[in-house]
Amino acid sequence: MTGIAVYPGTFDPVTRGHIDICERALQMFDHVVIGVADSLAKEPFFNIEERLDMLRLVFDDNEHISVKPFSGLLIDFARDCGADVIVRGLRAISDFEYEVQLAGMNRSLAPEIETVFLTAAQRYAFVSSSLVREIARLNGDVSEFLHPEILRRLTEKLEASK
C-alpha cells in the first residue's frame, strides 16, 4: 500500500457499491479521501451536508478514510489532498467511455495524478444512487443496497418530500 487516493462522487446517497469500491481501494492505498462533489448541476436529493454526514457515519470507524466536500476541478481537489491517484468505479461498459474521457482530461491537466478504475463487485454492478432513490420512491425494497442508517434517512426524506 502506498499513497493517498481520492474517490470522488456525489454519493446521493452512498450505496453498498460505493462502500465496496472504497474498501477495495484501501487494499491498494494508505488513505482514501472520499470527495463529495457539491454538484448542483445534478440537482442532488440530499444536500452536501447530509451526504457528508452519511459518509462519515458509514466510515466513522476507519482512520484510513476521510470525507471532504469539494467543488470545482477534481484535479485541484486531488492536489489539495496530496493524492497520487483518483479512484473511479465502473459498473458497466456504458460507464467506461465517459470515465476514460475524464481520465484523459485529468491526465492532461495533471500528469502526476493517475486514475485507477475498479470494477464494481458483481452484486453491485447494476446499483446506482439514482436507481436506488427511484425504487425507494416507488416503495420498493432497497435494503440490500444501503447501510441501515442510510436506508432510514432515505425513507425519512422521501416521506417528508411527499
Task: Tell me which residues are annotated as active site.
Answer: 18, 42, 91, 129
Output the 3-class SS for 40-67.
HHHCCCCCHHHHHHHHHHHHCCCCCEEE
> Hunting for cell 444501503 — which residue is that?
146
Report the alpha-carbon distance of residue 52 to residue 68 in Å, rounded.
7
Among 155, 154, 124, 160, which residue's Cα sits nearest to residue 54? 154
Report the alpha-carbon distance of residue 4 to residue 22 in Å, rounded.
12
